[in-house]
Structure 1
Protein backbone atom coordinates (compact mmCIF):
# COMPACT_ATOMS: atom_id res chain seq x y z
CA UNK A 1 0.00 0.00 0.00
CA UNK A 2 1.39 3.38 -0.97
CA UNK A 3 0.75 6.40 1.20
CA UNK A 4 1.85 8.90 -1.44
CA UNK A 5 0.97 8.52 -5.11
CA UNK A 6 4.24 9.45 -6.84
CA UNK A 7 2.59 10.28 -10.15
CA UNK A 8 0.05 12.80 -8.90
CA UNK A 9 1.74 13.87 -5.63
CA UNK A 10 -1.45 13.23 -3.65
CA UNK A 11 -1.96 11.31 -0.44
CA UNK A 12 -3.85 8.00 -0.46
CA UNK A 13 -7.02 7.49 1.55
CA UNK A 14 -5.12 5.22 3.96
CA UNK A 15 -2.61 7.98 4.73
CA UNK A 16 -5.38 10.50 5.38
CA UNK A 17 -7.27 8.04 7.64
CA UNK A 18 -4.08 7.26 9.57
CA UNK A 19 -3.32 10.96 10.10
CA UNK A 20 -6.90 11.63 11.26
CA UNK A 21 -6.73 8.75 13.76
CA UNK A 22 -3.48 10.08 15.21
CA UNK A 23 -4.93 13.59 15.60
CA UNK A 24 -8.12 12.30 17.27
CA UNK A 25 -6.05 10.17 19.68
CA UNK A 26 -3.76 13.06 20.54
CA UNK A 27 -6.71 15.34 21.29
CA UNK A 28 -8.74 12.75 23.25
CA UNK A 29 -5.93 11.37 25.44
CA UNK A 30 -5.42 14.46 27.64
CA UNK A 31 -9.16 14.76 28.21
CA UNK A 32 -9.45 11.12 29.28
CA UNK A 33 -6.55 11.51 31.75
CA UNK A 34 -7.44 14.97 33.11
CA UNK A 35 -10.39 14.02 35.29
CA UNK A 36 -10.35 10.40 36.37
CA UNK A 37 -13.36 10.81 38.73
CA UNK A 38 -12.83 7.42 40.34
CA UNK A 39 -16.02 5.80 41.53
CA UNK A 40 -14.60 5.49 45.05
CA UNK A 41 -14.81 9.27 45.53
CA UNK A 42 -18.58 9.27 45.16
CA UNK A 43 -21.15 7.98 47.60
CA UNK A 44 -24.92 8.00 47.65
CA UNK A 45 -26.57 11.04 49.21
CA UNK A 46 -27.98 10.41 52.66
CA UNK A 47 -31.74 10.30 53.03
CA UNK A 48 -33.17 13.71 53.77
CA UNK A 49 -34.97 16.66 52.34
CA UNK A 50 -33.80 16.90 48.70
CA UNK A 51 -34.27 20.67 48.82
CA UNK A 52 -31.61 20.88 51.52
CA UNK A 53 -28.94 18.81 49.74
CA UNK A 54 -26.27 20.34 47.53
CA UNK A 55 -24.20 18.39 45.03
CA UNK A 56 -21.27 16.64 46.67
CA UNK A 57 -17.86 18.07 45.73
CA UNK A 58 -16.00 15.98 43.17
CA UNK A 59 -12.44 15.09 42.25
CA UNK A 60 -10.68 15.55 45.60
CA UNK A 61 -6.97 16.17 45.07
CA UNK A 62 -3.78 17.01 46.95
CA UNK A 63 -0.78 19.13 45.94
CA UNK A 64 2.61 20.13 47.36
CA UNK A 65 1.52 23.76 47.08
CA UNK A 66 -0.07 26.51 45.07
CA UNK A 67 2.13 26.08 42.00
CA UNK A 68 2.47 22.30 41.98
CA UNK A 69 0.38 19.83 40.04
CA UNK A 70 -2.40 17.98 41.84
CA UNK A 71 -2.53 14.26 42.59
CA UNK A 72 -6.03 12.78 42.43
CA UNK A 73 -7.57 10.86 45.30
CA UNK A 74 -9.27 7.49 45.03
CA UNK A 75 -7.05 5.98 42.35
CA UNK A 76 -6.38 2.35 43.34
CA UNK A 77 -2.86 1.71 44.67
CA UNK A 78 -1.89 5.39 44.28
CA UNK A 79 -2.03 7.31 47.54
CA UNK A 80 -1.08 10.95 46.95
CA UNK A 81 2.23 11.84 48.59
CA UNK A 82 3.49 15.34 49.37
CA UNK A 83 6.86 16.57 50.59
CA UNK A 84 5.79 19.73 52.39
CA UNK A 85 4.10 20.55 55.69
CA UNK A 86 1.84 22.99 53.76
CA UNK A 87 0.02 20.90 51.14
CA UNK A 88 -3.04 22.19 49.30
CA UNK A 89 -6.34 20.32 49.27
CA UNK A 90 -8.89 20.96 46.51
CA UNK A 91 -12.21 19.73 45.20
CA UNK A 92 -14.50 20.79 42.38
CA UNK A 93 -17.89 22.11 43.43
CA UNK A 94 -21.07 22.22 41.42
CA UNK A 95 -20.50 25.27 39.28
CA UNK A 96 -23.12 27.97 39.15
CA UNK A 97 -21.02 30.16 36.90
CA UNK A 98 -20.01 29.70 33.26
CA UNK A 99 -16.74 27.74 32.88
CA UNK A 100 -13.71 30.02 33.00
CA UNK A 101 -15.43 32.83 34.87
CA UNK A 102 -14.29 33.99 38.28
CA UNK A 103 -16.75 35.07 40.93
CA UNK A 104 -15.45 37.22 43.78
CA UNK A 105 -17.38 37.01 47.04
CA UNK A 106 -19.13 40.21 48.02
CA UNK A 107 -22.21 41.36 49.86
CA UNK A 108 -24.45 40.11 47.05
CA UNK A 109 -22.26 37.11 46.03
CA UNK A 110 -20.76 35.48 49.12
CA UNK A 111 -19.26 32.41 47.41
CA UNK A 112 -19.84 28.98 48.88
CA UNK A 113 -19.09 27.97 52.44
CA UNK A 114 -17.02 24.80 52.63
CA UNK A 115 -15.90 22.66 55.54
CA UNK A 116 -12.59 20.78 55.33
CA UNK A 117 -12.02 17.96 57.81
CA UNK A 118 -8.55 16.41 58.24
CA UNK A 119 -7.62 13.49 60.47
CA UNK A 120 -4.67 11.21 60.95
CA UNK A 121 -5.12 7.88 59.16
CA UNK A 122 -6.38 6.30 62.43
CA UNK A 123 -9.12 8.95 62.76
CA UNK A 124 -7.49 11.28 65.33
CA UNK A 125 -8.65 14.83 64.45
CA UNK A 126 -6.06 17.24 63.00
CA UNK A 127 -8.29 20.15 62.01
CA UNK A 128 -11.71 21.23 60.86
CA UNK A 129 -11.62 24.40 58.77
CA UNK A 130 -14.65 26.38 57.64
CA UNK A 131 -13.97 28.75 54.76
CA UNK A 132 -15.71 30.71 52.03
CA UNK A 133 -14.61 29.91 48.51
CA UNK A 134 -13.26 32.65 46.26
CA UNK A 135 -15.12 31.07 43.34
CA UNK A 136 -18.30 29.04 43.33
CA UNK A 137 -16.75 26.09 41.48
CA UNK A 138 -13.60 25.26 43.48
CA UNK A 139 -12.81 24.67 47.14
CA UNK A 140 -9.12 25.00 48.05
CA UNK A 141 -7.37 24.94 51.40
CA UNK A 142 -3.62 25.27 52.05
CA UNK A 143 -2.37 24.22 55.47
CA UNK A 144 -0.63 26.80 57.67
CA UNK A 145 3.07 26.23 58.23
CA UNK A 146 4.05 23.47 60.69
CA UNK A 147 0.55 21.98 60.92
CA UNK A 148 1.50 18.56 59.56
CA UNK A 149 4.48 16.32 60.21
CA UNK A 150 5.55 13.20 58.31
CA UNK A 151 2.77 10.64 58.46
CA UNK A 152 -0.43 9.38 56.91
CA UNK A 153 -3.56 11.51 56.84
CA UNK A 154 -6.99 11.67 55.26
CA UNK A 155 -9.35 14.54 54.42
CA UNK A 156 -12.81 15.26 53.13
CA UNK A 157 -14.92 18.31 52.30
CA UNK A 158 -18.56 19.34 52.08
CA UNK A 159 -20.44 22.47 50.98
CA UNK A 160 -22.89 24.56 53.01
CA UNK A 161 -25.14 27.21 51.55
CA UNK A 162 -27.57 28.54 54.12
CA UNK A 163 -29.63 25.60 55.37
CA UNK A 164 -28.54 23.44 52.40
CA UNK A 165 -25.61 21.09 52.98
CA UNK A 166 -23.94 18.54 50.73
CA UNK A 167 -22.82 15.14 51.83
CA UNK A 168 -19.13 14.68 52.65
CA UNK A 169 -16.83 13.51 49.91
CA UNK A 170 -15.26 10.09 50.42
CA UNK A 171 -12.12 10.20 52.56
CA UNK A 172 -8.99 11.06 50.57
CA UNK A 173 -5.88 9.38 52.00
CA UNK A 174 -2.54 11.13 51.56
CA UNK A 175 0.97 10.87 52.98
CA UNK A 176 3.34 13.62 54.08
CA UNK A 177 7.01 12.71 53.68
CA UNK A 178 9.22 15.53 54.94
CA UNK A 179 12.97 15.42 54.42
CA UNK A 180 15.25 16.42 57.28
Structure 2
Protein backbone atom coordinates (compact mmCIF):
# COMPACT_ATOMS: atom_id res chain seq x y z
CA UNK A 1 0.00 0.00 0.00
CA UNK A 2 1.35 3.36 -0.93
CA UNK A 3 0.90 6.34 1.41
CA UNK A 4 -0.19 9.42 -0.36
CA UNK A 5 1.01 12.78 0.97
CA UNK A 6 -1.59 15.46 1.03
CA UNK A 7 -1.37 19.03 2.28
CA UNK A 8 -3.14 17.93 5.48
CA UNK A 9 -0.58 15.20 6.34
CA UNK A 10 2.29 17.56 5.55
CA UNK A 11 0.76 20.19 7.84
CA UNK A 12 0.28 17.56 10.53
CA UNK A 13 3.91 16.51 10.28
CA UNK A 14 5.01 20.14 10.42
CA UNK A 15 2.95 20.71 13.57
CA UNK A 16 4.39 17.52 15.09
CA UNK A 17 7.93 18.69 14.23
CA UNK A 18 7.33 22.10 15.84
CA UNK A 19 5.89 20.50 19.00
CA UNK A 20 8.86 18.11 19.20
CA UNK A 21 11.32 20.99 18.75
CA UNK A 22 9.62 23.00 21.50
CA UNK A 23 9.72 20.01 23.85
CA UNK A 24 13.41 19.46 23.20
CA UNK A 25 14.09 23.16 23.69
CA UNK A 26 12.19 23.20 26.98
CA UNK A 27 14.17 20.22 28.24
CA UNK A 28 17.49 21.77 27.18
CA UNK A 29 16.77 25.27 28.56
CA UNK A 30 17.71 24.47 32.18
CA UNK A 31 20.98 22.96 30.95
CA UNK A 32 21.87 25.95 28.85
CA UNK A 33 20.97 28.41 31.61
CA UNK A 34 23.23 26.49 33.97
CA UNK A 35 26.10 27.04 31.57
CA UNK A 36 25.32 30.62 30.57
CA UNK A 37 23.17 33.27 32.07
CA UNK A 38 23.23 36.81 33.35
CA UNK A 39 25.91 35.98 35.92
CA UNK A 40 28.09 33.88 33.62
CA UNK A 41 31.12 36.10 34.11
CA UNK A 42 31.11 35.72 37.89
CA UNK A 43 29.76 32.18 38.00
CA UNK A 44 31.96 30.44 35.48
CA UNK A 45 35.66 29.85 35.81
CA UNK A 46 37.59 32.60 34.11
CA UNK A 47 41.25 33.14 33.50
CA UNK A 48 42.62 36.39 34.89
CA UNK A 49 46.18 35.15 34.73
CA UNK A 50 48.06 31.95 34.12
CA UNK A 51 47.04 30.34 37.43
CA UNK A 52 43.96 32.32 38.45
CA UNK A 53 40.51 30.79 38.17
CA UNK A 54 37.36 31.96 39.90
CA UNK A 55 34.97 29.33 41.21
CA UNK A 56 31.29 29.94 41.88
CA UNK A 57 30.46 31.32 45.27
CA UNK A 58 29.04 28.67 47.64
CA UNK A 59 25.26 28.78 47.90
CA UNK A 60 22.65 28.70 50.67
CA UNK A 61 24.73 29.72 53.70
CA UNK A 62 22.94 28.47 56.79
CA UNK A 63 23.39 28.14 60.53
CA UNK A 64 22.14 25.69 63.14
CA UNK A 65 22.26 25.20 66.91
CA UNK A 66 24.20 22.00 66.30
CA UNK A 67 24.84 19.13 63.91
CA UNK A 68 21.43 17.51 64.54
CA UNK A 69 19.26 20.64 64.72
CA UNK A 70 17.45 22.21 61.77
CA UNK A 71 19.18 24.91 59.77
CA UNK A 72 18.14 28.54 59.37
CA UNK A 73 19.00 29.95 55.94
CA UNK A 74 20.85 33.25 55.85
CA UNK A 75 19.52 36.21 53.93
CA UNK A 76 16.03 37.28 53.01
CA UNK A 77 15.99 39.99 55.66
CA UNK A 78 15.65 37.52 58.55
CA UNK A 79 18.56 37.27 60.97
CA UNK A 80 18.98 33.73 62.35
CA UNK A 81 19.00 33.31 66.13
CA UNK A 82 20.86 30.41 67.70
CA UNK A 83 20.79 29.33 71.34
CA UNK A 84 24.10 27.48 71.28
CA UNK A 85 27.53 29.09 71.68
CA UNK A 86 28.88 26.44 69.29
CA UNK A 87 26.55 26.63 66.28
CA UNK A 88 27.13 24.75 63.03
CA UNK A 89 27.80 26.77 59.86
CA UNK A 90 27.16 25.19 56.46
CA UNK A 91 26.85 25.95 52.75
CA UNK A 92 26.27 24.08 49.51
CA UNK A 93 29.38 23.67 47.37
CA UNK A 94 28.15 21.63 44.43
CA UNK A 95 28.13 24.66 42.17
CA UNK A 96 31.79 25.47 42.73
CA UNK A 97 33.25 22.83 40.41
CA UNK A 98 34.80 24.49 37.38
CA UNK A 99 32.82 24.07 34.15
CA UNK A 100 33.52 20.75 32.46
CA UNK A 101 34.45 19.01 35.72
CA UNK A 102 32.96 15.55 36.01
CA UNK A 103 33.01 13.57 39.25
CA UNK A 104 32.97 9.88 38.51
CA UNK A 105 33.37 8.64 42.08
CA UNK A 106 36.97 7.52 41.58
CA UNK A 107 38.44 10.50 43.40
CA UNK A 108 40.00 9.61 46.71
CA UNK A 109 40.39 11.75 49.77
CA UNK A 110 39.40 15.33 50.46
CA UNK A 111 38.77 17.65 47.56
CA UNK A 112 38.54 21.34 48.45
CA UNK A 113 39.70 23.70 51.15
CA UNK A 114 36.88 25.67 52.75
CA UNK A 115 37.61 28.85 54.71
CA UNK A 116 35.14 30.02 57.38
CA UNK A 117 35.31 33.45 58.97
CA UNK A 118 33.24 34.56 61.97
CA UNK A 119 33.37 38.15 63.20
CA UNK A 120 31.64 40.03 65.98
CA UNK A 121 29.09 42.55 64.68
CA UNK A 122 31.70 45.33 65.09
CA UNK A 123 34.03 43.50 62.67
CA UNK A 124 36.42 42.12 65.30
CA UNK A 125 37.54 38.62 64.18
CA UNK A 126 36.22 35.79 66.37
CA UNK A 127 37.11 32.63 64.41
CA UNK A 128 38.94 31.85 61.17
CA UNK A 129 39.17 28.20 60.22
CA UNK A 130 40.26 26.41 57.07
CA UNK A 131 38.96 22.87 56.66
CA UNK A 132 39.12 20.33 53.88
CA UNK A 133 35.79 19.19 52.47
CA UNK A 134 35.41 15.42 52.13
CA UNK A 135 33.11 15.93 49.15
CA UNK A 136 32.30 18.62 46.66
CA UNK A 137 28.65 18.99 47.62
CA UNK A 138 28.61 20.73 50.98
CA UNK A 139 30.76 21.87 53.86
CA UNK A 140 30.03 22.40 57.52
CA UNK A 141 31.90 23.63 60.55
CA UNK A 142 30.77 23.44 64.18
CA UNK A 143 32.31 26.29 66.10
CA UNK A 144 34.26 25.16 69.18
CA UNK A 145 32.93 25.88 72.67
CA UNK A 146 34.19 29.12 74.18
CA UNK A 147 34.65 31.06 70.93
CA UNK A 148 31.28 32.89 71.04
CA UNK A 149 29.27 34.48 73.81
CA UNK A 150 25.80 35.99 73.67
CA UNK A 151 25.65 38.76 71.13
CA UNK A 152 25.63 39.72 67.46
CA UNK A 153 27.91 38.01 64.94
CA UNK A 154 28.34 37.46 61.24
CA UNK A 155 29.98 34.72 59.18
CA UNK A 156 31.01 33.97 55.62
CA UNK A 157 32.98 31.37 53.67
CA UNK A 158 34.88 30.74 50.44
CA UNK A 159 36.30 27.69 48.69
CA UNK A 160 39.81 26.99 47.36
CA UNK A 161 40.65 24.26 44.87
CA UNK A 162 44.30 24.45 43.91
CA UNK A 163 44.79 27.85 42.30
CA UNK A 164 41.02 28.36 41.90
CA UNK A 165 39.29 30.42 44.57
CA UNK A 166 35.63 31.41 44.93
CA UNK A 167 34.29 34.77 46.01
CA UNK A 168 33.28 35.07 49.66
CA UNK A 169 29.62 34.41 50.38
CA UNK A 170 27.66 37.41 51.60
CA UNK A 171 27.95 37.96 55.33
CA UNK A 172 25.34 36.04 57.33
CA UNK A 173 24.35 38.09 60.36
CA UNK A 174 23.17 36.04 63.34
CA UNK A 175 22.49 36.39 67.03
CA UNK A 176 23.61 34.08 69.82
CA UNK A 177 20.96 34.17 72.51
CA UNK A 178 21.14 31.68 75.38
CA UNK A 179 17.77 30.23 76.30
Q: Same fold (TM over 0.5)?
A: yes
* Displacement of 1:110: 2.4
Q: Distance in 2 between matches of 1:158 and 1:45?
A: 14
Instruction: Give the 5 Å matches for 1:112-127.
Output: 112-127=112-127
Structure of higher CA gyration radius: 2
Q: Deviations over 1:70-90 (max 9, x none)?
A: 0010021x1100001110000
TM-score by length of 1: 0.64
Q: Deviations over 1:49-89 (max 9, x none)?
A: 2861111100000000011000010021x110000111000
Which ranges of 4 or more aligned residues in structure 1 deviate by more than 2 Å?
A: 44-48
TM-score by length of 2: 0.65
Instruction: Give the 5 Å matches for 1:3-42.
Output: none
Matching of residue 72 in structure 1 with residue 73 in structure 2: yes
**Count of aligned residue pairs for this structure pair:** 129
Q: Deviations over 1:99-123 (max 9, x none)?
A: xx9x79x8x4422110001100110
2:61 alignment partner in structure 1: 60
Contact 2:110 2:135 in 1 (8 A): no
More helix by share: 2
Aligned residues: CA RMSD? 2.7
